[in-house]
Structure 1
Amino acid sequence: MGGSAHDAEVLDEDHLKSWIGREERATDVLSADLARKFAATFDRRETLTEGDVAPRLIHFCLALPVAPTASLGEDGHPARGGFLPPVPLPRRMWAGGSLSFAGELHVGETVSRVSRICDVAIKRGRSGTLCFVSVEHAFDVAGRPVLTERQDIVYRSAETAPAPAKPPSPAAQGRWRNRVDPTPTLLFRYSALTFNGHRIHYDRAYATDVEFYPGLVVHGPLQATLLMMFATEIHGRPPSRYSFRSQSPIYDGAPFGLHAKDENGGGKMTLWTAAENGPVAMAAEAEWS
């Protein structure tokens, strides 16, 4: 990756670690309008009204940071600093997360979020400089805990040219399989739901010419939500614990697969996404108490 030596010089690890422990609080209303738009985006047929149990992972659409357009960087993300540490590396991605559910969100509820920076770690190697920022989110409704989430964000150097392609090992086939067509419309709708301005998800010229991807990048949280819905459909009820980790990008232009298999006699499920003949894009685990 280009610029890694420079990045190693400018990253002030002690300064970035001083963000550990910082907190941010926000509230939002899980409106029926949001619930209907979320359901429509994922082709769910139910009509959600006030009081209904909301779909899992709709919290990705709640209490979002709202930055003025003039403050956004070239990539569409808010400028560095504020709640998140000002990591000077230009590429930012959601690497994964883990969630524990204590209850359900309901349409119409006012949801509170408390977020805290848990860790900042810098790694340097042959692939360049990486900075990992871990954030813990706690969601509650009127003091009733609903879910806790650990979110892992990775910052990396910019590539100056595409890296030499290494043939990836194709992902295995799951016991259960489904197909998803990641159309530009689906990606745009999910970006709108989550107020995500990152251009790699909707601006093809930027994604291909600036960040050197072969197409529009399918959001990690979008894949995580699809796998959560898949696990719930197979098992018959949503899991009490869920984790996911991005392993490689996946793009629009062709359908990709949702895969799942049972573990430990049915109390745990391993899931993953993969393009046709492609490697694992996102790996996930779901557990039921």
Structure 2
Amino acid sequence: MSEFEDWIGRNQTVTDVLEPARSNALDVALGGEGALKPGDPIPLLHHWLYFWDVKPPAGLGTDGHPAKGGFLPPVPLPRRMWAGGRLSFHKPLILGAQVTKTSTITTIKEKTGKSGTLVFVTVRHELDGGDGLAVSEEQDLVYREPAARTLPAPVPAPAPAVPWVESVNPDTVLLFRYSALTMNGHRIHYDRPYAMGEEAYPALVVHGPLQATLLMRLATANLSAPVTGFDFRGQQPAFDGAMLHVCGAPNADGAEIWTQQGEAKNMVAAVRTGAA
């Protein structure tokens, strides 16, 4: 990846106002009451609803993402996804406040896996709500070769017997709403012919950040101590057409949480409640 060394260390700074309507819309879409108001702390991970990167039609790739070669390096692999990340929560972000996000590309690494060449780009984000660092985040993006074969569709299965579990139907309406609220144009989440015909998925793909948000929602509903850290990693895609079980179990540090369709774990995560 020597050709992209110049991208390492690149940074950009953007600002946005955390208006409550967007966060309330997601809360309602997930079954909440949508009663958040200015001055309330934003639910954890709802900052992903803000800082839209809106491009004109000419600035989009065929997959619906912003075209390559802007802030992120133009990795010549066609498939790209959010693979995981690590977050620390230092202080609350407040709805109604103007927040500054500074993003820096920290690493670009090429690996070879069972599915061929993979390129991982890690971006560090720091969010400041006006009184110092509130959230620090490392985001792992993965670029992949075209799919060699279509993945199998998920097999519906009952929820596992674990301490915490909620079952969510990731139907087309929920996927559309989350795409709209995050200004995510990636066609694998709403364009079934594209997802199946071009990227060889068996159905629409459930957003990784949506799964992470469901996991955080489960954890904060069941933990008595404030969450100070969250690490998550996608293991295999989740799809519409089968219930998604959002599962968790408390431990000494916080909780282990995961999403599951059938017997397979889709996203695994750890929540921390100690010092950030």
TM-score for both structures, normalised by structure 1: 0.89
| Counterpart contact for 2:188–2:205, Cα < 8 Å | yes
Is 2:59 the counterpart of 1:74?
A: no
Is 2:133 the counterpart of 1:145?
A: yes
Unaligned runs of 5+ in 1: 1-12
| Counterpart contact for 1:171–1:280, Cα < 8 Å | no
Distance 1:142 1:46 in 2: 25
- Which shifted more, 62-71 or 178-187? 62-71
Task: Pick the aligned partner of 2:254 from 268, 271, 286.
Answer: 268
Is 2:249 the counterpart of 1:278?
A: no
Q: Percent identity?
A: 45
Distance 1:142 1:287 in 2: 25
Counterparts in 2 of 1:233 and 1:163: CA distance versus 1, 3 Å: closer
Structure 1 stretches of at least 4 aligned residues deviating more than 4 Å after TM superposition: 170-173
Deviations 1:188-245 (A, max 9, x none): 0000111000000001111111111111100000000000010001113541000100
Q: Which amino acid letter does the alignment assign opposite residue 188 of structure 1?
A: F
| Counterpart contact for 2:11–2:105, Cα < 8 Å | yes
The corresponding residue for 1:8 is none
Structure 1 residue 128: Cα displacement: 0.8
| Counterpart contact for 2:88–2:137, Cα < 8 Å | yes
Task: Pick the aligned partner of 1:215 from 190, 200, 203.
Answer: 203
Structure 1 residue 75: Cα displacement: 0.7
The corresponding residue for 2:3 is 15
**Residue aligned with 2:242, SS:** coil
The corresponding residue for 1:191 is 179
Counterparts in 2 of 1:18 and 1:95: CA distance versus 1, 3 Å: same
Q: Which amino acid letter does the alignment assign opposite residue 24 of structure 1?
A: Q
**Residue aligned with 2:165, SS:** strand
Distance 2:161 2:110 in 1: 35
| Counterpart contact for 1:174–1:260, Cα < 8 Å | yes
| Counterpart contact for 2:112–2:118, Cα < 8 Å | yes
| Counterpart contact for 1:231–1:238, Cα < 8 Å | no
The corresponding residue for 1:84 is 72
- Which shifted more, 102-111 or 41-50? 41-50
Is 2:44 the counterpart of 1:44?
A: no
Structure 1 residue 94: Cα displacement: 0.3
**Residue aligned with 1:18, SS:** helix
What are the residue-to-residue correspondences of 1:1-289 with 2, within 5 Å?
13-162=1-150, 173-264=161-252, 267-275=253-261, 277-289=262-274
Distance 2:200 2:86 in 1: 29
Structure 1 residue 126: Cα displacement: 4.2
**Residue aligned with 1:47, SS:** coil
Q: Which amino acid letter does the alignment assign opposite residue 235 of structure 1?
A: L
| Counterpart contact for 2:246–2:257, Cα < 8 Å | yes
Distance 2:145 2:248 in 1: 33
Deviations 1:66-116 (A, max 9, x none): 221222111101111111111010000000001000111111100100000
Q: Which amino acid letter does the alignment assign opposite residue 274 of structure 1?
A: Q
Counterparts in 2 of 1:79 and 1:46: CA distance versus 1, 3 Å: closer
Q: Which amino acid letter does the alignment assign opposite residue 265 of structure 2?
A: V
**Residue aligned with 2:135, SS:** strand
The corresponding residue for 1:6 is none
TM-score for both structures, normalised by structure 2: 0.93
Pairwise CA RMSD: 1.9
Deviations 1:113-155 (A, max 9, x none): 0000010000124421100000000000124211000000000
Counterparts in 2 of 1:97 and 1:211: CA distance versus 1, 3 Å: same
Structure 1 residue 173: Cα displacement: 4.5
| Counterpart contact for 1:67–1:78, Cα < 8 Å | yes
| Counterpart contact for 2:100–2:128, Cα < 8 Å | yes
Unaligned runs of 5+ in 2: none
Distance 2:202 2:167 in 1: 20
